[in-house]
Structure 1
Amino acid sequence: MPEVLGTYNRDLAADERTYARGDRSLVHAHESDVIRSDQTRITLAPLDSLMRTFWDLVEHESWPDAPSSDRWLAPRVHAALRLTRREASDQLAWLWLALHYDRYVTWRWGEDAPANRWKGSINKQAFARLWWSGELFRLGPDYYPVERALVRQDFVNSYLHRPAVRNRPFAAEIIALTDGSRTDATVLSPDEINLLAVTVNLALAGTPPEVEIGPQNDDVQTYSEWVRSGATTDDWTTMPEGPPTQDVNSHQLSAARALVDRCWSYRSDLVEAHDSRAAQRARDAVEQQDAGRVSGA
């Protein structure tokens, strides 16, 4: 019988996580299955199948380095492990999954993988970051925006955990600006990606993107049916289709693009303010050094 997704009834200490990697039975007393409201469990058979394909590709050196595999794996993890957002908010379930597939965690981040790769925020935890990228950056059944978003680590690190990207049209237009896929845009540098994240935070402080873009209209019924149907493929070499939801319309995308452009237009003011503060700190440091020389003379 295929294994099912589990969770823990409490967090595990660092030494417990280390022991569990070698022998899961040592923390078995703290484990339980994730059980849905209809008393069903979540099979890991599709994810097991995906990871077998993944390791075959690793053996054939399909990626130049470990981070490059993220763009391939993220949409497929979302398609294989079909969760509701509520289920995906359980950090201890992600910890359980990381220990279950600990080979992946140590391959991706090394034997001394940081603690937040086992249990951490959605932009850091090993599997949560893949799944949530698939969920937040897809456009209906289209996973290609997810692939584009994960071309560079700066994007996931800077945006995935931010409330603004819960708005799907806004997330789509941020991706389009940063990766240069718009006809009027060029690929942003890592520093520019981080700068845009700061300007978005400042521009939307106290005013969520929904004010200008309109309310998020998640197609909850279609998504729920997709989750319940489960993944049926064993062929993970081609890009899967996501849930056939109708969450976004052209008006929302146009409004989102205008908002993203306005946020990006603030960058020069932000850089100028940062440079002014940095210059003032430098002047203050020089004055302090001069004062020290005078007092010591």
Structure 2
Amino acid sequence: MITQPNHVPERLALLDTSAVDPFLTEELLRGEQVHGGIDLAKVVEPLPEDDARWWIEPIRSLVEDAMFEFREDRTRADAWLAPRLHATLRLTRREAADKRLWNHLALAVAPDYIVWRHLPEVTAKQPEPRVAAQRFSGPADRQCFSRLWWAAELFRNGPDYGPVEIACGNQDLIHTVLRMDLIDHRPTAQALVRLLKSGQVTTGREVNGLSTAINTAGATLIYDILAPDEPRDPAALRDWIAEAESAQPVERHGLPDGPDEDPAPEESVAALTGYFAELFETAPIRGRESGG
């Protein structure tokens, strides 16, 4: 397995997508060899040096711990890393929407992690497996690190990352739901997690069927009316970001705390959990016998 680049920068920066291709080599995608890092450092845009959030060391430490801890089951790393990456990289949504940041994290800081996590196993049908290029530089729901950050942002319940662990423990939920605009409605996200936690929804087919039913119903039913959410206090996020200067490294065994925001209203979450459970009973699920 490849190791990190010989030259890993001390700070995060911005790497334009137009500059990515020379570093996204076949050797890297096949997990054989990573670029040295020196040439990449020449084409990045620096981030402000007075911002403690851009130090690389806490992120490198996280991914190395994940690779060690989950070496026997790589997919389980997602549920562990998502909340800790989010709490380490204290971003605004606007900052997180900048693909250049994730390009740099993927190619300059932790390309070895992406290969470790996403290189398929060798099979008869796939004797020369490759990592999908989108894992390094792609849409927010596909790029290795941005998908975890956004999953944590959308599924956390105020400061509580517990729902993130549950959501990221189901690959189909991440793949399907991160594409849904409705998931930005906090009671919707929390209701989905509760159905997973209760065991009512378990398999990938069930997740996909329920997600389709929720999306279809949402076209005619406005969830904000059925299950209103409270507006977020932007000061809580600003304070949390400002605390990055003095924040300790995130815990490895216990979950960190997110921004000190109020959780989604319990009445709204409960109402949608019940409604989604009813939707699930009639949702077309491949392989499920009619009538439930």
Task: Give the counterpart of 1:72 among 77, 80, 83.
Answer: 80
Distance 1:151 1:270, change over 3 A: closer
1:239 corresponding residue in structure 2 = 254
2:37 corresponding residue in structure 1 = 24
Name the SS for the 2:169 alignment partner.
coil
1:44 corresponding residue in structure 2 = 56
Mapping of 1:221-232 within 5 angstroms?
A: 221-230=235-244, 232=247
1:271 corresponding residue in structure 2 = 284
Q: Which has the larger radius of gyration?
A: 1
Whole-Å separation in 1 of the counterparts to 2:62 and 2:23: 28
Q: Deviations over 1:160-200 (max 9, x none)?
A: 232111122220111101231xxxx6343221110110011
Mapping of 1:49-198 within 5 angstroms?
A: 49-58=61-70, 61=71, 64-99=72-107, 100-110=109-119, 112-180=130-198, 186-198=200-212
Whole-Å separation in 2 of the counterparts to 1:173 and 1:102: 35
Instruction: Give identity over the alignment, percent.
Output: 29
1:8 corresponding residue in structure 2 = 15
CA RMSD of aligned residues (A): 3.0
Name the SS for the 2:261 alignment partner.
coil
Whole-Å separation in 2 of the counterparts to 1:206 and 1:18: 46
Name the SS for the 1:104 alignment partner.
helix
Q: Which moved more, 1:217-226 or 1:205-214?
A: 205-214
Mapping of 1:250-261 within 5 angstroms?
A: 252-261=265-274
1:212 is displaced (CA, Å) by 2.5
Q: Is the contact made by 2:214 and 2:279 (CA closer than 8 Å) also made in structure 1?
A: no
Whole-Å separation in 1 of the counterparts to 2:59 and 2:20: 26
Structure with the largest fraction of helix:
1
Distance 1:10 1:121, change over 3 A: closer
1:263 is displaced (CA, Å) by 4.0
Kindly tell me the number of residue pairs found equivalent between the two proteins. 263
Whole-Å separation in 2 of the counterparts to 1:268 and 1:32: 51
Structure 2, gaps ≥5 residues long: 1-7, 29-33, 120-128
Structure 1, gaps ≥5 residues long: 276-297
1:48 is displaced (CA, Å) by 2.6
1:222 is displaced (CA, Å) by 1.1
Q: TM-score, normalised by structure 1?
A: 0.77
2:226 corresponding residue in structure 1 = 212
Partner letter of residue 114 of structure 2? V
Whole-Å separation in 2 of the counterparts to 1:220 and 1:242: 17
Q: Is the contact made by 1:10 and 1:92 (CA closer than 8 Å) also made in structure 2?
A: yes
Distance 1:261 1:243, change over 3 A: same
Name the SS for the 2:11 alignment partner.
coil
Distance 1:248 1:39, change over 3 A: closer
Q: Which moved more, 1:18-27 or 1:225-234?
A: 18-27
Q: Deviations over 1:211-263 (max 9, x none)?
A: 332245222111111112117334632223323423335xx332233234334
Name the SS for the 2:14 alignment partner.
strand
2:123 corresponding residue in structure 1 = none
Name the SS for the 2:202 alignment partner.
coil
